[in-house]
Structures are given as C-alpha cells and as structure tokens.
Amino acid sequence: MQKFNCLIVEDEPLAAEVLQDYISQVPFLTLKATCTDAIYALDILQQQKIDCIFLDIHLPKLKGLDFIKTLKHPPHVIITTAYQEYALDGYELDVVDYLMKPISFSRFLMAVNKLQQINSVAERQHILFNVNKKKIRVYLDEILYIESLKEYIKVTTTDKVVHTKFQIGQIEEMLTMNNFLRIHRSFLVARNRVDAFSATEVEIGSYVLPIGRSYKEAVMHALEATG
C-alpha cells in the first residue's frame, strides 16, 4: 500500500484539529505539516515531498483555489470547505474530492481511499536512458543516487546500475521537483532514500556520499525539513 505525505492548509484551529485526528487514524497517511495560510504552504512544498494537500478555500492572503493555480506540479488536492458553491471550480482544477464541513470520518475515508485508486492506475514515473544502443527504463522511485562521470552519469537504483551519456546538470533539472537533491557537484540523491546524514556526508544504505562545501547549507536545510 502506497503511503502519502500530507499537508493541511487550514486557518480554523478546530477544523485543523479534526483533520489531524483523522489523518492519524489512517495507516497510509503521514501528516508533515499544518499551515494557516497558502504562503506558508508554498514554503513547505519547496522543502518537503508532499503527496496530498487538505486545502481550505477561504484562507487569508491567498485563497485556496488561487493557490492551486500557482502550482506548476501540484500534489493531489482534497478540498475542505463550508461553501458548496465552489465545488465546480474545484473539480475543474482536478481535485481528488470536495469535502463539506463538518467532515465525518467515514466521508474523509472515502476521499483518501480515492488517493490509492488514483495511484494504482497511474503510470509510474520513469526515464528512458540510452545504453549500448538500447533504451533502458529506470523508475524514479527506484533511484538511490546519480553520480557524474564527466560526460556520463552513473544511475544507481535498488537493483541495478546504469551508465549513460548525460550531464548531471541536465538530469538535475528533470528531477529536482521529484524528490531529488543535489548534494555535491558530482552527486544527486533521492531525499527519501537518505538513511543518515552529517555536515559532510549522507548515507544511503551501504553507500556513503560526500556533501560539497558550497551545497552544505541548502542540503542541511532540505534534509532537516524532510525529517
């Protein structure tokens, strides 16, 4: 069963508490943060991998539906609101579900179960690499880290190693929004695969990779935020 990192964006404390309680009762949901406004939520999205947002519509500073429109690659969104009239707008933005307050636990379960259904039919994200005149499919969720070897890169996954002609800067641009973090001019790692880290290195399984001096501050911030 796939697990989902969740973010609550809700300015009503009691409504946020209800969602926190519901999320804690569902094994495949993990609450990463609760925000009272969309501006703070943007900051969280830049720091952590969020799979689903429980989003109120009437928020201070930036309204919920306007917030969704600002996101280039939005996570799954479940609307939580007391206003039925925005339902059509929400579905036009491809939200997973539209929950009316007060939200019952049974109705909440119906909404989050849709997450599992959506992801079970969605194609896993992957990249096709050219290797010895063949196309090799590499799934993003299996990549541990990528190492630059001058004109080539070495892609280490959970079950194989792929060498292909590629610049690490190019692959970084493709993967930065998909859980990957540049830790050194020669290394790009999958954040959720990092088992331990210090100020100078990260550990992914049995692999120990260096953190570049100029990357240290950004890496520490990103990994500490990932928790």
134 phi and psi angles, rounded to 5 deg: -120, 160
Asked whether the predicted pLDDT for residue 91 surpasses 80, the reply is no
Asked whether the predicted pLDDT for residue 145 surpasses 90, the reply is yes
Distance, CA of 81 to CA of 42 (rounded, Å): 20
Q: Where are the domains of the chain?
A: 4-121, 126-226
What DSSP line would sit under 161-216, residue for residue?
EEEEE--HHHHHHHHTTTTEEEEETTEEEEGGG--EE-SSEEEETTEEEEPPGGGH
pLDDT of 16: 97
Distance, CA of 99 to CA of 81 (rounded, Å): 6
Split at pLDDT 50, 70, 90, the class of 200 is: very high
- The terminus-to-terminus CA distance of the chain in angstroms comes to 21
Looking at domain 4-121, which of 4.10.490.10, 3.40.50.2300, 3.30.930.10, 3.20.20.210 is its CATH number?
3.40.50.2300
**Among candidates 179, 220, 181, 218, which has minimal Cα distance to 198?**
220
Topology alike, domains 4-121 and 126-226: no
Looking at residue 104, the DSSP 8-state letter turns out to be: P
Distance, CA of 157 to CA of 174 (rounded, Å): 17
Q: How many residues comprise the chain?
A: 227
pLDDT of 146: 96
pLDDT of 201: 96
pLDDT tens for each residue of 24-76: 999 999 999 999 999 999 999 988 999 999 999 989 888 888 898 888 888 99
CATH architecture of 126-226: Beta Barrel (2.40)
pLDDT of 176: 63
% of the chain beyond a pLDDT of 70:
91
- 26-35, 83-92, 122-131 — which is least confidently predicted? 83-92
pLDDT of 123: 57
* Residue that is written with structure tokens 């010895």 in the block: 132
